[in-house]
Structure 1
Amino acid sequence: MTIPALNRFERLKPFLAVIFLQFGFAGMDVLSKAALNQGMSNYVLVVYRHVVAFAVIAPFAVVFDKKVRPKMTLPIFIKLVALSLLEPVIDQNLYFLGMKYTTATFAAAMTNILPALTFVMACILRLEKLRFKSIRSQAKVFGTIATVAGAMVITLVKGPIIELIWTKGKTNHEQQSGGIDLQHSIKGAIMITIGCFSWACFMVLQAITLKTYPAELSLTAWICLLGSMEGTIVALVMERGKATIWSLNWDVKLLAALYSGIICSGLAYYIQGVVMKDRGPVFVTAFSPLCMVIVAVMGSFILAEQLYFGRVLGAIIIVAGLYLVVWGKSKDHEFPIPSSKEQTAPDKQITQAGSSRTEKINHEAVTLDVSGGDVVTTDGQLDKPRNPTNV
């Protein structure tokens, strides 16, 4: 691979990583919705998901983070406990509960408010630049407002069904239950919104934690371990007296636990941490609309979910607002590879310094006046001969 091609690949790596994450999240939405439709408890799904993630990530963390893993301190441990509570417990349980009341497409569309929430929190914590006289900063603000407005449209406006060839004549969980009424939509939207707020807090806190604990694999393993422990307590309290909910068979429930644990907890936390070190938390969440599009297509094929005009309109508003935010902050996290001028700048300084020293040495060069026996410097001063000889 040539150097220019390698440079382009290095620049594309963060984009490829977050796009991979969105495909992973899309698959999780569809599989999780199918498992929930079959009666799986969302609390149990969260526990199994992080048990699987910890079992997969922990061996890699032990081996590869041996030299970079810092000593565990009380402040770091408190941050780890908070991280495991924010995303694995609060966000995922509320997200899956909201999905139960709605559809996978609805839930994926609502998560598009995540970049806006993350942006607002990053501005409050001074992790993002905001200058109101700048057109890019204004785009960030208007984009954030549009994103929230689009989420409200998705929640409150239903509209006519958009008929697709592959959904005609099919019935899904939503149609069997008589459709999703406004009350369920609002209830699901509130749960998903709170979950997204918790997720945004998780992203910002993860970026802060990585500054003092720069071991992504170990951080992921700790989050999954603590999250599974805290999630087990929540599941035992919420599903008390229901021992059968913990059983798994060779079906979509097991597949959902394995897939979401490996891809969406294990790999996702690690990739987020790696990308976040260079690009910040807002960049990682900026590609959420891609997940919505993938889920809408997969959900209509696999789950026979109907698309409504209101949800499509709200999604378009969210995407427009989101990319106003992305355009507004496009200059904030650019890390270009040094140009030839920048690369040669130190050499130029060294050359200039060397030439100045040479000039100084030349300036102090001496010539010998044989006739007089004196040493004459180039600046015209006389000096005594170093080795005078008296005859």
Structure 2
Amino acid sequence: MGCCSDFLQRAKPYVAMISLQFGYAGMNIISKVSLNHGMSHYVLVVYRHAFATLSIAPFALYFERNVWPRITFSIFVQIFVLGLLGPVIDQNFYYAGLKFTSPTFSCAMSNILPAMTFVMAVICRMEKVDLKKIRCQAKVVGTLVTVAGAMLMTLYKGPIMEMVWTKHVQPHRSSVPETTDSSDKDWLKGSIFLVIATLAWAALFVLQAVTLKQYSAQLSLTTLICFMGTLQAIAVTLVMEHKPSVWKIGWDMNLLAAAYAGIVTSSIAYYVQGLVMQSRGPVFASAFSPLMMIIVAIMDSFILAEKIYLGGVLGAVLIVVGLYSVLWGKYKENKDIKESKVMALPLAITCSEGNGHNMDLENEDRRERKPMA
């Protein structure tokens, strides 16, 4: 039972981050359908984080009402920037890029997230790089291989891979734009938007890990980020959208996209990734993002009968190899830290006992040498 409990405890961060990737994959497909139906991505961001705030706030009030840390000016600024990075910059640019490209391509571009997060973490001295150690080499090489796999999926198609479940299914019209000048410009524009969104996402990971050390109430922090992001997104939408009709939403795909994205990929995702980052760091949390692209590609193949190319399969293999390399490096790093702490504890106890023993011997010598009255 002890071994089983220990295994489940170690597996929790992995299961949590893998589950989040399934949630992100569903968000990509649902949001793409909503954007294709004409919904403004600015309005989608507002509704998304409004749903997120309403869904997570009751839990924060119930579970953390007695442990709220004091909000200093420094923490307020960090929360303000987190709301700007995540809900406003990241989501708006990501939805704009998704609108001009496709779900699979958007996920492929976002796979540079681990590399960006790793570089930012090194710059902020949250990650140490000692290339003489194998675990550091594994993290660096794994990051490069992951990015190479994502780029391979993006730049190389190759022949079509015939899947068993798509042989007798009539494929839908591909979401990849036609090779015209205007569509190529839109595709390039969407790619740039996705790179900006990924940069903001990486900065969010790093800053959130820093903020959690000062403001440890995770549910409350998630609520404040979503609420601050909602206010900022409303201001941006009022500037960018001047028609009142864009705010209209009914019982349709637009409502589903906003509710799903808000509850699953904002409130739950921010909270879960915060828990994981507290124990494993921002690089570990971001290392799972390549799985989202593979999941989206498979879901596209099943649901929309999208074509799968050889380049996508080869890129997915590279991504998995790179992912396991990064995770192995993080696992070895955490193991070395734990072993060093365990070795330091008996050494401290031994030194303490040794000092006490020496003091006792000195006292005995003094008593023996004391002259008799």
| Structure 1 and Structure 2 fold alike (TM over 0.5) | yes
The 3 A distance-change label for structure 1 pair 235 and 308 is farther
Q: For 1:126 and 1:338, locate their aligned partners in 2 and report how far apart those are by CA, in whole Å.
A: 20
Q: Is contact 2:114-2:287 (8 Å) kept?
A: yes
Give the corresponding residue for 1:252: 253
Deviation at 1:244, TM superposition (A): 2.7
CA separation of 1:225/1:64 partners in 2, compared to 1, >3 Å: closer, same or farther?
same
Deviations 1:350-391 (A, max 9, x none): 776776677677x479xxxxxxxxxxx7x476522xxxxxxx
Give the drift of 1:311.
Answer: 3.1
1:202 equivalent in alignment to 2:204? yes
What is the match of residue 287 of structure 1? 288
Letter in 2 for 1:201: A
Which amino acid in structure 1 is aligned with residue 293 of structure 2? Answer: M
Shift of 1:93: 1.4
- Counterpart of 2:111 in structure 1: which amino acid? N
Q: Is contact 1:278–1:333 with CA below 8 Å preserved after alignment?
A: no
- Please report how far the alpha carbon of residue 63 of structure 1 lies from its aligned counterpart in structure 2 after TM superposition: 2.6
Quick one: distance in 1 between partners of 2:333 and 2:305? Answer: 41
Taking structure 1 as the reference length, the TM-score comes to 0.83
| Matched position secondary structure for 1:206 | helix
Letter in 2 for 1:225: F
* Count of matched residue positions in the alignment of Structure 1 and Structure 2: 368
Q: Following superposition of structure 1 onto structure 2, how do residues 165-184 of structure 1 map, counting pairs within 5 Å?
A: 165-167=164-166, 168-172=169-173, 174=175, 178=178, 182-184=184-186
Please give the per-residue CA displacement for 1:158-195, whole angstroms capped at 9, x wherever unaligned. 333333344441214527x6479654443322221211
Instruction: Decide which of 238, 248, 267 is 1:236's aligned counterpart.
Output: 238
- Alpha-carbon spacing, 1:349–1:6, altered in 2? closer, same or farther (3 Å): farther
Does the CA-based 8 Å contact 2:108-2:154 persist in structure 1?
no
Say which structure is richer in helix. 2
Matched, 1:70 2:38: no
Paired residue secondary structure (1:257): helix
Identify the match of residue 190 of structure 2 among 188, 191, 208: 188
Cα root mean square deviation, aligned: 2.9
Structure 1, unaligned runs of 5 or more: 366-376, 385-391
Residue 4 to residue 321, structure 1, CA distance change in 2 (3 Å): closer
Q: So what's the TM-score if we normalise by structure 2?
A: 0.87
Whole-angstrom CA distance in 1 between matches of 2:26 and 2:203 = 24
Instruction: Name the SS for the 1:40 alignment partner.
Output: coil
Cα distance change on mapping 1:67 and 1:349 into 2, 3 Å: farther
* Bigger Rg, structure 1 or 2: 1
Q: Secondary structure at the match of 1:332?
A: helix
Question: For the residues of structure 1 that align with 2:46 and 2:338, how far apart are their CA atoms?
Answer: 41
Cα distance change of structure 1 residues 347 and 146 upon mapping to structure 2, 3 Å threshold: closer
Instruction: Work out the CA distance in 2 between the residues paired with 1:160 and 1:101.
Output: 24
Deviates more, 1:226-235 or 1:326-335: 326-335
In structure 1, distance between residues paired with 2:138 and 2:360: 54
Partner secondary structure for residue 149 of structure 1: helix
| Unaligned 5+ runs, structure 2 | none
